[in-house]
Amino acid sequence: MITFVAHVPVKAGSEESFEAAMAEMAARVHEHEPGAIYYEFAKSIDDPGVYLVIEVYADEDAFKAHWKTDFIRPSIAKTRPLMNGAPHIKQYVSPGTQPAGPPERD
């Protein structure tokens, strides 16, 4: 499995819009991506302007398929202006699994 953990800083006053966009994205991933084992987000209790996004994919093919969906880019377009800086993203892999390469972007 390939796991991505992102800490996403969100602009003050944009939390509700960010949560709505992420909830929509998570629902689409759950419905349309069988290779996405887990896709959820949560708000920090220590720093309410920071969200945690966890994405778990069965393998690199599932991760790459995520980036080819018709809803990923519109979701990024919605959430990026709500962020207060770049997300801090780390990748983790199950033992014996190779890391995923960068997604193919248009």
DSSP calls for 27-60: HHHHHH-TTEEEEEEEE-SS-TTEEEEEEEESSH
Residue 106: its pLDDT value, please?
54
What's the confidence (pLDDT) of residue 27?
97
Tell me: the pLDDT tens digits for 23-76?
999 999 999 999 999 999 999 999 989 999 999 999 999 999 999 999 999 999
> What value does the mean pLDDT take over residues 9-32?
97
Return the pLDDT at 103: 74
The number of domains in the chain is: 1
| Choice between 103 and 9, residue whose per-residue pLDDT is larger | 9
Any domain includes 41: yes
Q: What is the pTM of this model?
A: 0.91
**67 Cβ partners below 8 Å, 6+ apart?**
103, 104, 105
| Residue 74: Cβ within 10 Å count | 14
Tell me how many degrees the CA angle 93-94-95 measures, rounded to the nearest 5: 115
- Which CATH number characterizes residue 7's domain? 3.30.70.100
99 domain-assigned: no
The answer to whether position 73 is within a domain reads yes
Q: Does 98 reside within a domain?
A: no
Check residue 83 and give its pLDDT. 97
d(CA 43, CA 59): 27
pLDDT at 48: 87
Each residue's pLDDT tens digit, 84-99: 999 999 999 999 888 8
- Non-local (6+) Cβ contacts of 91 within 8 A are 2, 3, 4, 99, 100
